[in-house]
Amino acid sequence: MSIFINKKTKLLVQGITGRDGSFHAEQMKKYGTNVVGGVTPGKGGTKIAGIPVFNTVSEAVEKTKANTSVIYVPPPFAADAVYEAADAGIELIVCITEGVPANDMMKVVPFVKARGARLIGPNCPGLISPDQSKVGILPGTIVKKGNVGVVSRSGTLTYEAIWALTLAGLGQTTCIGIGGDQVIGTNFIDVLDAFEKDASTKAVVMIGEIGGNDEEKAAQFIKKNMSKPVVAFIAGQTAPPGKRMGHAGAIISGGSGTAADKITALNKAGIPVAGSPTEIPELLKEQMKKVKPAKKKTAARTTKTTKKKAAKKTAKKSTKKKTAKKATKKTTKKTAKKTTKKSAKKSTKKTTKKAAKKSASKKKSSTSKKKSTKKAK
Amino acid sequence: MNLHEYQAKQLFAQAGIPVPPGEMATSPIAAFDIAERYNKPVMVKAQVHVGGRGKAGGVKYAENAEAARVLATKIIGMDIKGLEVKKVLVTVAEEILSEAYVGIILDRATQRPVIMVSPAGGIDIEEVAAKTPEKIFKLAVDPVEGLKPFQARDLAYKLYRDIGQVRQAADIIMKLYQVYWTSDASLVEINPLVTVPGGDVVALDAKMNIDDNGLYRRKEIAEMRDIEAEEPSEVKARESDLSFVKLDGNIGCIVNGAGLAMATMDLVKRYGGEPANFLDIGGSSNPAKVVAAMSIILSDPNVKAILINIFGGITRCDDVANGIVAAYNELNPSVPVVVRLTGTNEAEAQKILASMNLPTEDTLDKVVQKAISLADVVA
């Protein structure tokens, strides 16, 4: 199991004829990703590394049934490439391009959401589900299949953390770089939520850096909504304060956003923060040990019932193990379903409450508007 | 990219936002001429890319042209927070009746431009925000729809009671949002927005930061960049498409990726060293970038050792290795260099570097520790 991408991922590469696009299309194909096509306007009908190239995304989707797209086009055309992918019905759009203007992204992000698609990035390394699919530029050699989810705002720092996990024998379900830009399609909370719901992910590593307050918000989310252990790392503890201009940044952030602020927020939420990327595996192992006692009871129960079932169902010794496995799978699936249902109910409740609040505040503001217009008259 | 006040005011004036008449001067005589032409009391304001100019003594009132000349002599050449003042703005002094604040910033949390206004503007606005946040009013603008006139009016009512002033402020807020959006700004700020005798509302100060990613389509703004007002090594880095920040330590760092560069610096400090710089060679690196990075770092006499830490993804290790070879041939570095290359095309890179006889390490912690020990030996 994994999140966002798996064996069923059918990938398009937008900008496949460029230097980075062609190189990484081949790398992804070599890794085992099902790369079904590429798109470069004007290059339709040609082939890159055996991959058919199309002129438009909609044509490529029609011919290949692609459901995912990765974008390597230059910054001035990146936003348009995202629009094109979302418009053609692509479900997951991963934008690797660095240097996309924030004004473009502010308009693109709501467009993609309205189409029901998910955007990861821009300015990100993409994602990889070991032994299943790789979308982006993460080196396939450093990952290993396992049960740890990795989410990061950084690119190369992510590789460092993944490599440390792999060396320590901790494999991964999915590793995702969400990008370091101010306006991005998928944030920490979106990914943490997906990892919490993914049955195969048992623990999560979150890598943040200075600036913004996404890590602080993620800390709150983890405390409230996550049962799985999370370990964090924050880069930029020694970064010098920038030569700041204007006051708006300080007013809007309330002065937060430093590494120290983020580490404090994470620790307060009970999330340990590693001092070096190489310390992440040890911390994670400690946290994973802590989780076990709480789950022992249910684990014991399921094995009992499965044993009974297994004993009843079969006489053959050799098949015993297999059925036991199947049975545990079933029960875990059931419990997983139940919990997701519950959480879904909770979240709908919350959202309706929020919506109610919102409409209330809207009413307030509209009445105040009336007042002010009266005054004006 | 940061703009100077006089440049931001040019953009404001073009958009129809009222600003006091003013001109930039680079010498006391030029300041005298400008003030004499206005034949009114003026303000002489240091043009430097740092906040807190007023508190540092870089903004002064001059009764006449001669006083302006004397003040300009003092302010030009003055050091404000490590930056030398090379330009002043000479602008007509206004009598101020009230001070408000208007700012627009890209807000990471809402992923929208947020307009902030406060009737309590002036140099202590941050204190106002911290102690009396109820005096700050915010509005997140829908970037697709843009700012609507009723929203600008709503904000303007928070600033003024007089309907004439409300209308002027609403108009200014609408125009300021236009400036923000059409110049690919990440920040525009008027502090203070003042009222003057006669009732007019005027932007007395102006600050603008531009999103570097948007500069390719804002040629006229890109040309406003004042290279003289920036750290020379940072200018050179930008020309080579590197992000670089000079620091005070002795370990030069060449890293790919901002996050990894920061983490590498953090580890240098953790193991008892001091980083000399932040340097990110970025993705898609070509060998020339490594040469440029090396030459920038070598120009810092404090540097006693250089560590190169590359984790290849879109950056190919063989590109970097070729860059290291070229840098050695061109620059012949006098300080020890320690290298760690991991990831995409790592094996090819190691082949290229094999003949160089450079110390290499295979982990982040080890390469940092090695660099510190090499720097200690040199020191």
Residues of A acting as catalytic residues? 247
Residues 123-162 of A with CB under 8 A from B: 125, 137-139, 141-142, 152-160
Interface touch B262/A235, C-beta < 8 Å: yes
Interface test with B, best of A100, A156, A187 (most B CBs within 10 A): A156
B213 shares contact with chain A (CB less than 8 Å):
yes
Residues 4-43 of B with CB under 8 A from A: none
Q: For the domain covering B98-222, report its CATH number.
A: 3.30.470.20
A358 shares contact with chain B (CB less than 8 Å):
no
- The domain boundary residue, chosen from A264, A290, A316: A316
Is 90 exceeded by the pLDDT of residue B236?
A: no
The arithmetic mean of pLDDT across residues B104-123, rounded, is 94
Percentage of residues in chain B having pLDDT higher than 70: 99
CA distance B301 to chain A (A): 20
Indicate the number of domains in chain A. Answer: 2
Is 50 exceeded by the pLDDT of residue B30?
A: yes
Cβ partners under 8 Å of residue B95, min gap 6: B196, B197
pLDDT for B296 equals: 94
Which residues of chain A are within 8 Å of residue B255 when distances are taken between CB atoms?
156
- The token pair at B235 is 């200018």
In chain B, where the domains are located: 21-92, 98-222, 233-378
pLDDT for A305 equals: 46
> Does A155 share its domain with A302?
yes
A37 occurs within a structural domain: yes
C-alpha distance from residue B366 to each of A99, A109, A220, B119, B266 (Å): 32, 41, 35, 55, 14
User: Can you tell me whether residue A302 is helix, strand or coil?
Assistant: helix
State pLDDT tens for residues A116-138: 999 999 999 999 999 999 999 99
- From the list A96, A106, A180, which residue is nearest B258 (CB)? A180
> Does A114 share its domain with A152?
no
What are the φ and ψ backbone dihedral angles of A234, each rounded to 5 degrees?
-125, 125
Q: What's A165's domain CATH number?
A: 3.40.50.261
Would you tell me the crossing angle of helices B28-38 and B65-75 to the nearest 10 degrees?
A: 150
pLDDT for A286 equals: 95
Q: Which residue's structure tokens are 């798996």? A: A6
A134 occurs within a structural domain: no
Sheet with B251-255: list strands edge to edge: B243-246, B277-280, B251-255, B305-312, B337-343
The arithmetic mean of pLDDT across residues A164-178, rounded, is 97
Looking at per-residue pLDDT, the higher value among A365 and A21 belongs to A21
Q: Each residue of B313-344: b (16+ CB within 10 Å) or e?
A: bbbbbbbbbbbbbebeeeeebebbbbbbbbbb
> Does A229 share its domain with A301?
yes
pLDDT for A194 equals: 98
The arithmetic mean of pLDDT across residues A61-85, rounded, is 98
CA distance B156 to chain A (A): 11
Looking at per-residue pLDDT, the higher value among A341 and B150 belongs to B150
State pLDDT tens for residues A234-262: 998 887 665 555 677 666 666 567 888 89
Q: How far apart are CA A105 and CA A185, in angstroms?
A: 8
State pLDDT tens for residues B358-377: 889 988 999 999 999 999 88
Is 90 exceeded by the pLDDT of residue A293?
A: no
> Does A100 share its domain with A160?
no
Confirm whether B101 is a catalytic residue.
Answer: yes
Domain that holds residue A106: 1-123
> Does A94 share its domain with A199?
no
A371 shares contact with chain B (CB less than 8 Å):
no
- Written as one letter, the residue type at B82 is G
pLDDT for A288 equals: 93
Averaged pLDDT of chain A: 82
pLDDT for A250 equals: 66
Least confident of A146-160, A229-243, B27-41: A229-243
Q: How far apart are CA B278 and CA B261, in angstroms?
A: 6
pLDDT for A245 equals: 55
Q: Is A353 exposed, middle or buried (0-12, 13-18, 19+ CB in 10 A)?
A: exposed
Domain B21-92 = CATH 3.30.1490.20: yes
State pLDDT tens for residues A2-47: 999 999 999 999 999 998 899 999 999 999 999 999 999 999 999 9
CATH superfamily of domain region B233-378: Succinyl-CoA synthetase domains (3.40.50.261)
Q: How many CB atoms lie within 10 A of CB A41?
A: 15
A281 occurs within a structural domain: yes
> Does A172 share its domain with A296?
yes
Choice among B6, B38, B101, B160 that is catalytic: B101
Averaged pLDDT of chain B: 93
B136 shares contact with chain A (CB less than 8 Å):
yes
State pLDDT tens for residues A257-279: 788 889 999 999 999 999 999 99
Interface touch A238/B269, C-beta < 8 Å: yes
Predicted confidence band of residue B284 (pLDDT cuts 50, 70, 90): low
Cβ partners under 8 Å of residue B359, min gap 6: B336, B337, B338, B339, B370, B374
> Does A149 share its domain with A266?
yes
- From the list A100, A138, A157, which residue is nearest B260 (CB)? A157
Predicted confidence band of residue B379 (pLDDT cuts 50, 70, 90): low
Percentage of residues in chain B having pLDDT higher than 90: 79
pLDDT for B52 equals: 82
> Does A109 share its domain with A145?
no
Q: A249: closest CA among B116, B147, B131?
A: B116
Predicted confidence band of residue A64 (pLDDT cuts 50, 70, 90): very high
